[in-house]
Structure 1
């Protein structure tokens, strides 16, 4: 169980995502933080990352790994594809 509320996680998650953004940007991609609910971080991959065959690995071994190192080992990341309806 994650010992933080979703609101308490927001700023640390933003800071942690800043660490991985240069990796995405080098490949012409990007990412938008959509929100956090129950310890799940919802993002939207943009640019060349959107629809990329390696985007699943980028999320798991890049983004999610960084969040687990920086904040808590139980955090997970979910990509919401562009155009898909999303509400927290």
Structure 2
């Protein structure tokens, strides 16, 4: 079972990069091995946010927590 603590630990690593760009990420929920997050600040309105989600956030989370099936932005 994936815990909030596991996901938050990985998101903390991602936050470092997001904060340098004026953004952040929030963990909203975990259901059926899918992690739901929200990009906030500058990252919430960035036209590259879709790429950030797939190429960085999802890749990093799935690498660190192999049980995660997907990361979805809300």
**TM-score of the pair, normalised by structure 2:** 0.89
**Structure of higher CA gyration radius:** 1
Unaligned runs of 5+ in 2: none
Q: Given the superposition, is the C-alpha separation of residues 73 and 57 from structure 1 closer, same or farther in structure 2, using an over 3 Å criterion? A: farther
Alignment match of 1:38 (pick from 32, 42, 59): 32
CA distances 1:18-67 after superposition (whole Å, capped 9, x unpaired): 11111110110111110100111111111001121100111111111111
RMSD in angstroms over aligned alpha carbons? 1.3
Q: How many equivalent residue pairs?
A: 74
Unaligned runs of 5+ in 1: 81-88
Greater fraction strand: 2
